[in-house]
Amino acid sequence: MPELPDVTVYVEALAARIAGHKLRRIVVRGPFLLRSITPPLEAAYGKTVRQVRRVGKRIAIGLEGDLWLALHLMIAGRLHWRDSAARPAARGPLALFEFDSGTLTFTEAGTQHRAALHLVAGLEGLRALDAGGIEVLDAGLADFAAVLQSANHTLKRSLTDPRLFSGIGNAYSDEILHRAGLSPVALTQKLAPEAVERLYRATRETLVEWTDRLRRQSGGVFPGKVTAFREGMAAHGRYGQPCPRCGARIQRIRYASNETNYCPVCQTGGKLLADRALSRLLREDWPGSLEELEALKRR
């Protein structure tokens, strides 16, 4: 699932191509994609794009008339850009957004139908789609600590809860926790102040570093390969490979459809996280899927 760094680069690439341009029409092919009915999609036709922004893991396209197109890629959704008008294919894209500067194509691999498109009116309509988590890159340490310790959850759960923190998911939470040297199952309300500060700095550094890295990799080209498994990651997707810090083999925890990667030396004091107590903890504290987390609503 694209997270804050990936979505930020998508937003920047889109803004460079559609800001100030008119949306001519939208062709929706996927019957499960459109999740709103008011206003109708036709209300967006002919409107000029005023801005493009990130809202959590959503891409929000602001149009004149205070309308917002909100795209959530979920796990398998991806965007593609063509400078010319795209020829409608018999099968394939879920939707095409035709601008006077080119065509944005929305695709989704697989058959799960999890990607979503909303057209909403006004900032209140847009806020209703946002679970309300804070933006860590805009927050100070005190606000970060207050949100983190507002409930007693595992660090993995808290970092990926969109009601607490905006834009962080499975991949970058692994990277953040590895950088901070903290266990994914450590409980938030038992963290020492020094550990909270270390986590805060690791979160900001990881998100900034990967956003900058993805910008450089795109080189001005519209992002083509958006994946949760990237070369250069320290822990995520590296099960069985050596930790870049200490050389120990990266381990993993699997629960339902989720997977967490960690270094037992750097993060858990040499302990492998695979006992019955852990299984009970995961069942009580971790949602069974990323989709369950994304469906959490603002408090």
As a whole-number percent, the residues of the chain with pLDDT over 70 amount to 88
Q: Is the pTM of this model over 0.85?
A: yes
Residues contacting residue 14 through CB under 8 Å, at least 6 positions apart? 52, 59, 61, 79, 81, 104
- Residue 34, classed as helix, strand or coil, is strand
Q: Give the residue, 99 or 292, on which the prediction is more confident.
A: 99
Residues contacting residue 98 through CB under 8 Å, at least 6 positions apart? 23, 24, 25, 26, 27, 85, 86
Using the predicted structure, report yes or no on whether residue 293 has a pLDDT greater than 90.
no
Q: Read off φ and ψ for residue 202, nearest 5 degrees.
A: -65, -40
> Which residues are bridge partners to 166 per DSSP?
none
- Least confident range from 27-36, 42-51, 240-249: namely 27-36
The whole-number pLDDT of residue 288 equals 61
Using the predicted structure, report yes or no on whether residue 286 has a pLDDT greater than 70.
no
Using the predicted structure, report yes or no on whether residue 22 has a pLDDT greater than 70.
yes
What pLDDT, in 10s, does the model give residues 89-131?
Answer: 545 789 999 999 999 999 988 777 889 999 999 999 999 999 9
> Which residues are bridge partners to 96 per DSSP?
27, 105
As a whole-number percent, the residues of the chain with pLDDT over 90 amount to 74
Mean pLDDT across the stretch 138-159? 97
Using the predicted structure, report yes or no on whether residue 256 has a pLDDT greater than 80.
no
Mean pLDDT across the stretch 186-209? 98
Domains parsed from the chain with CATH numbers? 4-127 (3.20.190.10), 136-294 (1.10.8.50)
CA distance linking residue 99 with residue 85, whole number of Å: 8
Mean pLDDT across the stretch 214-222? 91
The whole-number pLDDT of residue 229 equals 75
CA distance linking residue 158 with residue 69, whole number of Å: 28
CA distance linking residue 276 with residue 282, whole number of Å: 10
CA distance linking residue 212 with residue 231, whole number of Å: 15
> Rounded mean pLDDT of the chain?
90
